[in-house]
Structure 1
């Protein structure tokens, strides 16, 4: 029997979290019951210590501070580089930003990130774009996680992460295959060297409730074994009719110093998302006469029986060996298991212009999915002395396997719908039966890579690298063969940096990425991979007395070898390679401390996207965009912090699929405000008000359907630290 047959993921994530905790009980009980931890807690109650990681660190930890920037990042190359030393556009959303503005999901984080758009097409499936292309790569602690179909199901909770780093442009050196958009890297929280515990409770609009627990510290007298346990659960209704969401997450991690030079870490994350009355597709945006529908913001296209439930389990083990003061080697293995279980309802037409009723043209589906991934990486990193200068090198190899199983059963629709503004979600629920998996594809990719930061001269630095990849795919998805093989696919990386002085640098970079294709040409050969190449010129500087990073970049990204229809041979579609999308634009970013107590992270993006004929395309992506967060803690009252978040974009539009004309979304700005107050060393209260101007806006125009974003809403939080 299929693993999805007659299965619906449980409806209580908090209870599920308790039951799932069996796999993490050792870690949690040791943390909570360690005599060393309890003794040290009594000595340091109320003091949140900055984390110090003795083994190889991806970059500096941000939790425990108000900082809106990081001093180092390795997402682009695995080299430990400052923002000025990285010859690409990089942005980081730190733990302080996440907590200040309640950025509890990946969607919230990326809506705060310069140069990224979040396409909320449905309530439980999201796409992300950058520089005119869909983002197709995620990473966790620098290990790539391929994204089938370039989307995320459900919400990824941020409770377990210290920060999220985003590198824009082609990122093939560390990502392997994908689109020349960006890579999003989640950096997990790790055990702390000193004891720490916190509990945060939140209450908000639409009966939103959330509770989060975080406990960390040493588990033995010497501090050679450390652990951390993070748990969060939330439950709430929505501004959308009938929509109800529940989410639970549990994360446990342990680190052990096996010797003075060897560290072992292992961890596991479990997350469950349960959504009732979710939308598959969304609202029709125009009627049969082509008039905009302009529904109320609460209107939903979901019946009361639809749901989308998902469960994700992610495990990792890593071993770090310090070879010398300058060199270390690190091996990591991760495993992902994701299960989705849904019943869905899709409106396949538009309402009648006179009556508002929607004729019987609906898709009723039971969609199930099982995604399993293995990823392994082994690399060495260190310094080399040559020609009287010090250079940093990394060499490594990685391997991944992703198996994606899907099933969609369809049932016949039985009735028309009344006008959606008046509909209560009542619609006959069909009997779908149990699915059979006929869509089953596996992709294996292995690579060798290397990169170096080369100190060329007093003011000149080069960052260069290359990746050699081998890819094999087998299986079918919805009647389309996925069989393809790539050998010796070379992906270069090159950047040159010139230090104008001690505070500013000019840089130029060229990066690539590739994406395999399953289309065949007239000779029966698979087309070469789509090639994405990014060119970037920029200026980076340390500003505000070194407290902040500023950057200005101009960029261009080209696609080549994109499949284009070339007729038929013996009834078989054939294709030829052609130029694809070209994007170019400008970005300006600023992140850090602008004055004592004043933190800010802001970015402006200008973008042009054209097809091979030079015509504007992907017009659902804004051409002008501003993202900004800021907070201020006055010296005269340092218990108080106030802040604001701004998200602005210009007009967007799309050609209608089933009628003449275009659907447009006017420019809009969303303003969020926050304030927090430390009542004492242990207790902090905060208040967030989002969309304070109550702006009405569509969340995306990527598809011919859409829905409206949340109206003004409020969240109150209380955090206890020990």
Structure 2
């Protein structure tokens, strides 16, 4: 498969869009420098635009279904957010290298139709990105203007009343090509997996790229997205899902909320720019800045506990507020070489500022109990103003970082970095007059060593750290220390000359300290630890000129301390074993010329939540695409081909997996 890599500007060579094969895919997420993925001594996976389209990815958390180390779909077909676990931990989300915030229910949702590529950096990533959970980060790369004129029109229809219209057009605005534009927009609607749920989305993303001089380029970006939804609240209880009852099982489509009252209206927009400048053949500078704003109106009702053999009590989440954030990242890069060495130095300063404020309520008793086997809606009293609390959260972070990559004798790659952050988080309840605060002054370190062989077999060793502030105080009144993550990884990346593909294998040990646990007297103490050890195998490549294979396997042993008396417990949601395989075959001769067939299977091993056991499951996907002409193609995608009914996971609540999805597409390209 040929992919278009986003080759970053560096001091060695000015940027150009180029077409490269899989074994030299360029990724900038792991280093903040574009470098071949198989020559990067950090764990990173990438999914490009061609694969996003082939598998008809509709939500960000569907991206890595066929990659190692990532768990998705564990909360079912939720339309409130994108749910991902990386190596057993939560992750941070970035878009174009800048943080997009997901504070509580205020979830910024990137639209896949507007993305060129999605990367996942696995494990602690504070060295370049600041405070974050130890699982790593997802970086969604937006479509950007192109030097050549091109465009496409997409139409889709499918089950659950799915319909979508998309437009993507790009090219030069001036005769000499110094000014380029791109306009991406889509409208889509689909009913949810639960009865009486739906989501309608409008998305528009213009961008403009200007060559100010031969050495300076400015890119302006904007996006506007509006979601009008009845939330898919997949919370069900073990009783009636993984546990038998006298009345059978709860139907997966049963809605235990209040569809006439619930809503999830979300409007998000962003404005930003990227500025790149070359001072000379050695030094270059890049600045990225973005302002984001999101307005959320959420009412979500969920089942909380069984009160008798048929009925469950319910709770409510209510949010009516706004988030605003400024993020900026400034990088100075130097490149020089001499006899037997190449050196790249990266120096950076970044700043993040977030404010969230609104009226909120978290009611653990809402309305009358509901019959989980035959629900009747309407037995509730709407939330009153007296039940709302006005809350305001702020977060600031200033970070300074340095990273150096040294290549010796064209074989040895040595990577080292350090970063210092000042981070502060404050949560205020203006109604009750209470507040919580977290501070962190943290030094994060990172290192890596890789041997780049002529045979394309590149073993490596890496070390990474992370930190995440924790709000609140201990029994002595002192602020909690930040949670701290660290990871050792030993692996190999393989891309032999002449093979259009790559293979990676890695063993990792990931640990988080300062985890809050109960001391047995009702107090929270930082005496816990969470660990994740495992092995990953991932390969994408051509077996023949027409047959491409994608394979991934993950073994993860994720464990956590829950209290002073419950130590080293198996973490919920995380299976020990995951595996996936996808095959593509392209016909190039005869009457089938232009036909591409693809299919895959995804296996997720058993999980547990204390005494609750969740069985393993296997899901199959398929696609068929036919190029009618060089401009027109048609495509059919089916996810969960057999409409397998399964419970994806349990963590107090249990969640049915996504039902069968069928989508027919046609696209016109010019």
TM-score (norm 1): 0.84
Helix, strand or coil: the match of 1:397? strand
Deviation at 1:62, TM superposition (A): 13
Distance (Å, rounded) in 2 between the aligned partners of 1:247 and 1:321: 37
Encode CA deviations 1:159-201: one digit per residue, 9 max, x unaligned: 1110100011111112211221021011111101011110010
Helix, strand or coil: the match of 2:42? coil
Deviation at 1:104, TM superposition (A): 1.9
Distance (Å, rounded) in 1 between the aligned partners of 2:242 and 2:61: 35
Q: 1:461 corresponds to which residue?
A: 413
Distance (Å, rounded) in 1 between the aligned partners of 2:645 and 2:299: 29
Change (3 A) 1:259 1:541: same
Q: Which of 687-696 and 287-296 deviates more? A: 287-296
Distance (Å, rounded) in 2 between the aligned partners of 1:476 and 1:349: 30
2:119 touches 2:138 (CA, 8 Å); kept in 1?
Answer: yes
Q: 2:290 corresponds to which residue?
A: 334
Distance (Å, rounded) in 2 between the aligned partners of 1:65 and 1:454: 26
Encode CA deviations 1:22-51: one digit per residue, 9 max, x unaligned: xxxxxxxxxxxxxxxxxxxxxxxxxx9968
Distance (Å, rounded) in 2 between the aligned partners of 1:340 and 1:497: 46
Helix, strand or coil: the match of 1:79? coil
Q: 1:524 corresponds to which residue?
A: 477
Task: Establish whether residue 297 from structure 1 lines up as the match of residue 252 from structure 2.
Answer: yes
Distance (Å, rounded) in 2 between the aligned partners of 1:268 and 1:619: 39
Aligned residues: 654
2:66 touches 2:552 (CA, 8 Å); kept in 1?
Answer: no
- State which of 216, 239, 243 in structure 2 corresponds to 1:262: 216
Task: Establish whether residue 537 from structure 1 lines up as the match of residue 485 from structure 2.
Answer: no
Helix, strand or coil: the match of 1:174? helix
Task: Establish whether residue 691 from structure 1 lines up as the match of residue 640 from structure 2.
Answer: yes
Task: Establish whether residue 601 from structure 1 lines up as the match of residue 517 from structure 2.
Answer: no
Change (3 A) 1:615 1:268: same
Q: How does 1:498-577 map to 2 (within 5 A)?
A: 498-543=451-496, 545-565=498-518, 576-577=525-526
Change (3 A) 1:221 1:429: farther
Helix, strand or coil: the match of 1:179? coil
Q: 1:483 corresponds to which residue?
A: 437
CA RMSD across the alignment: 3.1
- State which of 313, 327, 332 in structure 2 corresponds to 1:375: 327
Q: 1:191 corresponds to which residue?
A: 145
Q: 1:130 corresponds to which residue?
A: 86
Helix, strand or coil: the match of 2:128? helix
1:410 touches 1:432 (CA, 8 Å); kept in 2?
Answer: no
Distance (Å, rounded) in 2 between the aligned partners of 1:690 and 1:62: 37
Task: Establish whether residue 715 from structure 1 lines up as the match of residue 663 from structure 2.
Answer: yes
Distance (Å, rounded) in 2 between the aligned partners of 1:409 and 1:576: 27
2:575 touches 2:604 (CA, 8 Å); kept in 1?
Answer: yes
Change (3 A) 1:66 1:592: farther
Distance (Å, rounded) in 1 between the aligned partners of 2:408 and 2:446: 17
Distance (Å, rounded) in 2 between the aligned partners of 1:414 and 1:152: 24
Deviation at 1:635, TM superposition (A): 3.2
Distance (Å, rounded) in 2 between the aligned partners of 1:370 and 1:64: 41
Distance (Å, rounded) in 1 between the aligned partners of 2:284 and 2:389: 44
1:63 touches 1:96 (CA, 8 Å); kept in 2?
Answer: no
Q: How does 1:76-95 map to 2 (within 5 A)?
A: 76-95=30-49
Higher share in strand: 2
2:598 touches 2:623 (CA, 8 Å); kept in 1?
Answer: yes
Q: How does 1:578-593 map to 2 (within 5 A)?
A: 578-593=527-542
Distance (Å, rounded) in 2 between the aligned partners of 1:116 and 1:54: 26
Distance (Å, rounded) in 1 between the aligned partners of 2:16 and 2:198: 33
Deviation at 1:481, TM superposition (A): 3.3
Deviation at 1:314, TM superposition (A): 1.6
2:639 touches 2:662 (CA, 8 Å); kept in 1?
Answer: yes
Q: How does 1:277-356 map to 2 (within 5 A)?
A: 278-280=231-233, 282-286=235-239, 291=244, 294-305=249-260, 306-350=262-306, 352-353=308-309, 356=310
Deviation at 1:605, TM superposition (A): 0.4
Q: 1:169 corresponds to which residue?
A: 123
Change (3 A) 1:517 1:465: same
Encode CA deviations 1:477-500: one digit per residue, 9 max, x unaligned: 69773323323x110010011234
Deviation at 1:522, TM superposition (A): 4.9
Q: 1:679 corresponds to which residue?
A: 628
Q: 2:113 corresponds to which residue?
A: 159
Distance (Å, rounded) in 2 between the aligned partners of 1:501 and 1:544: 8
Task: Please list every run of 5 or more consecutive structure 2 residues that lacks an aligned counterpart in the other structure.
Answer: none
Distance (Å, rounded) in 2 between the aligned partners of 1:228 and 1:283: 43
1:329 touches 1:379 (CA, 8 Å); kept in 2?
Answer: yes
2:67 touches 2:538 (CA, 8 Å); kept in 1?
Answer: no
Higher share in helix: 1
